[in-house]
Structure formats: C-alpha cells, structure tokens
Structure 1
C-alpha cells in the first residue's frame, strides 16, 4: 500500500520538531496531513535529494524551480504556513547542529536518506545563476552580468506580467479597487511632483527599465530625459516605445553604467527600484556620484526596497533563493542606513514616505497576471523561470504584508552653498 506521504510527514515532523502545517501528496499517490490544507506535492524522490544536499531555502528553491515540488491550492496560504520552516536563519542552524547529537533525530535523518535513495546530488536547474565569484563586489562587469540574468529574459514575458505600463516597481494605489495601470501612472506622477519637474528641465533616470518614467516625465511635464540601463533588451524596447510616442527629440536611452554618466549637471534624478542592485560596499559611491551629477537645488527621488534592521548587522546574509535565481548580487539595507549614506554624500534628506502596503498590492496583481496566462508565460521564457517569478512575487507580497521588508521613497536635495533647498515651506505639496 502506498505510504510515502505518511512516512514523509512523520519524518518531517521529527526533523522539524513541530506538526507539519500543510498536506503532503507523494510520488506514489499517497496523501497525509490536515484535510483541507494547501497540499505540498512531492513529485519524485529527487526533491528529497535536493533538500538533503542543500538543507533549507536553496534546496527547496531548486526543487521548486525544477518542478520536483509544487503546491496545490492557495499558494499564499501554503507559503504563510511554511514560512517558519523555509526561511531559516542562524538560530535555526544552531538548533539543527544541536539536534544532530540526538539519536532519534539521527535515526529520522537516516530514514529520510533511505527514502531519497539513490543519494546522489542532483544538478541545479539551468535557471540558477552560475557564480563567478565577483557578484557581491559590484564591479561594472558583475553588475552587467546580474542585470542581464534578471532583465534579459524576454520583453514579451515582462509585458504579460507587468501589463501595458511596463513599470517594474511598486505602484501607488488610491484604493485596492484601482487598476494596476492607474496605480502605476499615479506612482510616476507622484515621483514627478516630488521632483517638481517643469518644462525645460533635464532629468536623469537611473535604471530606466523599459522607459516608462522617461516617457511620463517628457510627455506630461515637458522635460528632457536621459535614461540609463545595463539591459540591452530594456533599452531596445524603451527606444521603440519612445519613437512610437514621438519623443525621440526629448528622451535618450543609453546602455550605460550610472558610474559612467559624465554629462551633468541635471536638474533632477529619479532612481526607481535600482538602488537594491548597488550593494552595501558601493552605496556611498553611488550617493556621491548622483550628488555630483545634480545642480545646486536639484532633487533626487530614491525609491528603494528596505529590510528590517537586525540586532547584529554584521551577521546579515542575503536570501539564498533571491540571490541564486532572482536578483543575483542584490542587497537590501534598512531605510535608516540609506538615509545616513545619502546625507554623508552631501544630500539633505527632506522627505521619507513608506509605502510597503502598496508593494504587496502590486505584487499580487503581477502574480494574478502570470497565473491568468500561465502556459503563455512558460512558453515565453521557460517553465522553470515562470515558476521562479510566481514563487518570488507571491513570497515577496507576503513579506511586505508582514512587515519583513518595506519600500520607501526618499526625497533628497543637493542644497546650495548658501543653504537654499528650493523646497516649499509646507512639505508634501505634491499630494
């Protein structure tokens, strides 16, 4: 009689020291676990081998991307229930090391190894970033490699997920009933107002994506724009959109590292969802570079995801799944650290707006877009890549909802030598 699911449930609970909060369906068709709960589908023994060779998040990620693991039912509910077991940190690692001394724990581990036989290490899925040892040094070459891994996966795929706005950052919602397109338009307009864009001004859009901010600023506010990206596919798509809008005389899209921009000064700079790629070691350099590119009185709008601060910042490690499959070399910092570094570079920080709930709403819409066109999404990129995007966007939505991460718009000014900021006496006149 098939019993792999019952054995898996029992072994998992012994190893984890807690009841398994989801139902399990194993490769032999057997099921075990709480009725009505989301079902974790273990399609084959290879899923177990991935977990045994890479315990924790990376092993689970590899099994998910390869299709060895799946979820039936509400993906958000499944991730919510499994969150405590998936995202293990140093304290969990210490607990595991202590458990290895327990005879019952070692017996359960041996049984799991037997169930996973033959116990050979499976190759990582092809979608995993192949390490070259320099990603977290954030050289120009490694940043170009990381950006290409994330963004050069097909513009058609991003159109399917993001919708017509082609904006890959947190939207700004008037209400949960708003459309994604309206919310993204409102975000671009909010940024334009914070930067106080006016006809004749020059805007530098750092990490310009597919050109949405550049088009909005030029069309709605009469500015000239230089947008820089490291993605060849983004640049080609953005240039095509700009030509269709008749704005080629007002917008230039360059494939260029922000560190190589030399044609300042600019009246304003927007950096929307780009600074997460800069890295802690390079962040002060990034802030100095943008400060140098602005005119006195010029404004910077830095729109950036942030993590919660830790008691011991020296022990912070990047997320294994995100680093291997989504944003290689990406790093999140607490908003206080970001503000401090901008100020050290000479900026005067004038406003910080936290909008994390808005990102949760945005991500849920992107997931819904992908799920509604699932077969097409797999065709446009790969089944593994589509699975990566679905998992990371759903998990990120929950992370924003539970305040594990946030997103902030930081408005900073290059104050003139005489102390003039050009800011209105009453803040937030852009609302």
Structure 2
C-alpha cells in the first residue's frame, strides 16, 4: 500500500478525465497533487469504501461526517474546487457526477484501475452510515407527524449549540447587511445585520401598535420579540420544535412581553384564529414542499384580514427544464433538512397569486445569505470544542460542511433567497400600500 496518495491521484484522474485540483494526503502519510493547493486528507481506507458503495455526494458526505476525510487549508477553496468533481454541467443545471463515474468504471481501460481501488479500499463491505444520518423515510411527504419529525431532527439538537453558531440574536435566517459589508469591509456585526433584517420585515409589513402579527416558523422568538418591543404589536409565534418554543417563551418572559406574545407548538395547518393584520414567514416555506405549497398559500391567505400583508422570506433554487426530475441533494436530505424542498422564485410568486394574494414587491438578497453563513461558520469554528461537547463531532462536522457549502452556493448563484411581500387586497381593490413603498415607512 505504499504511496496510496499517488495511486489514488492517478486513479481519480483516469476515471474523471481531468487533473485533480486538490492535493491528497493518505492514511500512509503519502502525498500527491499540486503544491500549495488545499489538501484532502484521507484518514482511513474506509473512506474509499464509502465512495465505492455510494459514488458522489452522499459517499463523500458520509466520509466527512464520520471523520474519514478532512480538509487542510481553506475549506471554502477546497469545496469550490471539489464541486467540479462531484457535479457536472448538464443542460441548464448541475447534475451529480455519479452516473458519469459509473460509466467510466465500466470502460475496459478503467477496469484495472477499478480493481486497484478495490484493493486500496480493503474489505468489500459497505460501512455503516454515521449516526447523524436520517434513514430513508416511508409514507406520504409532509403529513403533520412526518413534518414534525423532520423539524425535530434539524432544530432539536440543543439550544446552546445554536447559540454558539447564531450568536445572541438567535436568528436562523439570512441577515440584512449594508453596502460596506458587501464590499468586504467590517462595519456592522452579525447582530446589527440580524436586527436590521427583523426591522426591515416589520417595516415591509407596515406594523403599527395594537396590530396582531402571526410569525410562521418563529424559531427562538426573535421576530415576535422585535415586533412587540419596537412596534407595539400583539404576536403569535408558531413552531414545531419543542426546544425552540421553550427558549422562545423564556426570552419573552425575561423581556416582560408575556402579555403580548404567545408561542405555540403548532403547525400552520392547525391555526383557526381570528384573522391577523400581518403574517411573517421567514425561512419556513422551504419545509412545506411542492405538494403542499398551494395549501400553505391558501392557509395564510385565509388567516389575513383584507388589507393585511404577508412577508414570505424563502430560499429559491434555479429553475430546471424537467421540474419533475428535481431532487433535493442527498447530503441535505439525509443530514440537514429531511424532506426539505426548494422552488424557483417564479413558482412561489405564482402560487401566492393563485391563492388570491397580490404580490407587491420581490427583493433578492442572495449575497446577504453568503455573508451570514460565513459569519455562522466562523462562530462554529471559533467555538469548535464547545460545539462538539454540546452535540457530537459528527453533528458539528455536518453543520460546518453544510454552512460553508451553502455560502458558496449563494455566492455562485446556484441558489438565492427572496423576500416576497404580498397583500390580501380589500374587495374595493385597495391594497393599503403607499404609492412609493420602497422606503417602507407606511
């Protein structure tokens, strides 16, 4: 097994048909690849077995979560370089390279290389997936029990862990940064940017004292806290996470706002209140799913009084030619957001309009999410030992990979995020919006 790194580099380049852009360090301490490039550290031969049994993204993700592989050097640069090995361009969207790799391995001239890979990998037994992975789910998507289970997997990993990553704001969605931060200068903090995002939403909704606000997917209560404290509204926040609800109630009580803010563990499909003056849904609609989105839009429309506004803040993907063939990335589905689905912004706008809403404004804030994610990654890395103690090393590794990869996806325009402001107009057609709304003062 001497010079495992050199043999792996040669094999990978023969199969992929392109030079490796990263350096490899193998378990035998051998190294190969371009000097000065980020180094993919293969700590255990088990990583190769993971790739043999699950070529592509899921095999690499399992190896990463289990600690079989690591990166030495700039993680963002390494992920950017490795993306070309995991994905290939096909038509109008990137597709997993797994099929291309399997086709290459079937070629006669590659078979000897494949046999060598089997020898390097060791025992031909599929390794057990890391404990942090969600197993395949059964039954219909987006039923109430299945959605609650999926939300619990993502959010009930410990409030203290999230506090390390998110910072004091406890806001788990895209912050709103100023032009100086976009240009690379450090002027505002993450806390400033999250406060500005919450305030922007309140202004877009035109909140006024005494109004009633519903926050769908309220997380740890930051939106309802800000709206009640700064705008004098009465608010209801709903979440499916027991841990989120417990901390949100504690924060509200400590702020002296328990008489104006209510937190419920409740699904949006279970709300039967009197109409609300405004609804915010921030980073929640990604969990709804294509099959249920019309129901989601109809439910929010019914919960608004005439003249009421909805602010729907949602991650979007690029449209593809064959929408029926779209699937969530395996790593995201198995480790991060079980059953989550992204939609193009055009479909989201169309479905809100189908429900009866008038869409009045769409603001794309893609670059803001990249900045936010990089801040969260920095928080995690700066508190790595504590994060591992609070959860597990595997879970912390999931989050580091997920957030860094997502930051790159936003930067490269593979995904985006949009704030869609919609209104339930009155019978007269009056939307109650100012003629020039972009200053968001009324």
TM-score bin (small chain): over 0.9
Tell me the equivalent position of 1:276: 286
Q: Distance in 1 between matches of 2:362 and 2:167?
A: 28
Q: Distance in 2 between matches of 1:95 and 1:160?
A: 40
1:144 aligns with 2:148: yes
1:166 aligns with 2:170: yes
Higher mean C-alpha displacement, 329-338 vs 418-427: 418-427
Superimposed CA distance per residue, residues 394-428 of structure 1 (whole angstroms, 9 cap, x where no aligned partner): 00000000000000000000011111100101121
Superimposed CA distance per residue, residues 310-338 of structure 1 (whole angstroms, 9 cap, x where no aligned partner): 12212211110000000000000000000
1:224 aligns with 2:229: no
Q: How much does 1:106 deviate? A: 2.0
Q: How much does 1:341 deviate? A: 0.3
Tell me the equivalent position of 1:331: 341
1:288 aligns with 2:293: no
User: Out of 300, 305, 317, which is 2:315 matched to?
Assistant: 305
SS for the counterpart of 2:193 is helix
Matches within 5 A, 1:252-267: 252-267=262-277
Q: Normalised by the size of structure 2, how large is the TM-score?
A: 0.95
SS for the counterpart of 1:28 is coil
SS for the counterpart of 1:137 is coil
Aligned partners of 2:55 and 2:101 also within 8 Å: no
Q: Normalised by the size of structure 1, how large is the TM-score?
A: 0.98
1:115 aligns with 2:120: yes
Q: How much does 1:429 deviate? A: 2.1
Q: How much does 1:137 deviate? A: 1.1
Matches within 5 A, 1:75-90: 75-87=75-87, 90=95
Aligned partners of 2:56 and 2:96 also within 8 Å: no
Q: Distance in 1 between matches of 2:314 and 2:232?
A: 26
SS for the counterpart of 1:428 is helix
Tell me the equivalent position of 1:58: 58
Aligned partners of 1:203 and 1:226 also within 8 Å: yes
Q: How much does 1:47 deviate? A: 0.3
Tell me the equivalent position of 2:43: 43
Q: Distance in 1 between matches of 2:112 and 2:351?
A: 51
Tell me the equivalent position of 2:396: 386
Tell me the equivalent position of 1:374: 384
* Alignment gaps of 5+ in structure 2: 89-93
Q: Distance in 1 between matches of 2:100 and 2:86?
A: 14
Tell me the equivalent position of 1:355: 365
Q: Distance in 2 between matches of 1:402 and 1:221?
A: 37
Aligned partners of 2:169 and 2:222 also within 8 Å: yes
Q: How much does 1:108 deviate? A: 1.5
Tell me the equivalent position of 2:91: none
Aligned partners of 2:23 and 2:34 also within 8 Å: yes
Q: Distance in 2 between matches of 1:272 and 1:360?
A: 17
SS for the counterpart of 2:34 is coil
Q: Distance in 1 between matches of 2:4 and 2:274?
A: 65
* Alignment gaps of 5+ in structure 1: none
Distance 1:146 1:377, change over 3 A: same
Matches within 5 A, 1:170-185: 170-174=174-178, 175-176=180-181, 177=186, 178-185=188-195
Higher mean C-alpha displacement, 286-295 vs 14-23: 14-23
Aligned partners of 1:2 and 1:29 also within 8 Å: no
1:105 aligns with 2:115: no
Q: Distance in 2 between matches of 1:87 and 1:328?
A: 21
Matches within 5 A, 1:228-247: 228-247=238-257
Q: How many residues were matched structurally?
A: 430
Higher mean C-alpha displacement, 194-203 vs 78-87: 78-87
SS for the counterpart of 1:84 is helix
Q: How much does 1:285 deviate? A: 0.3
Q: Distance in 1 between matches of 2:95 and 2:38?
A: 28
Q: Distance in 2 between matches of 1:92 and 1:61?
A: 14
Matches within 5 A, 1:195-210: 195-210=205-220
Tell me the equivalent position of 1:157: 161
Aligned partners of 2:86 and 2:96 also within 8 Å: no
Q: How much does 1:97 deviate? A: 4.7
Q: Distance in 1 between matches of 2:113 and 2:328?
A: 30
SS for the counterpart of 1:252 is strand
SS for the counterpart of 1:129 is coil
Q: Distance in 2 between matches of 1:378 and 1:92?
A: 32
User: Out of 405, 421, 429, which is 2:415 matched to?
Assistant: 405
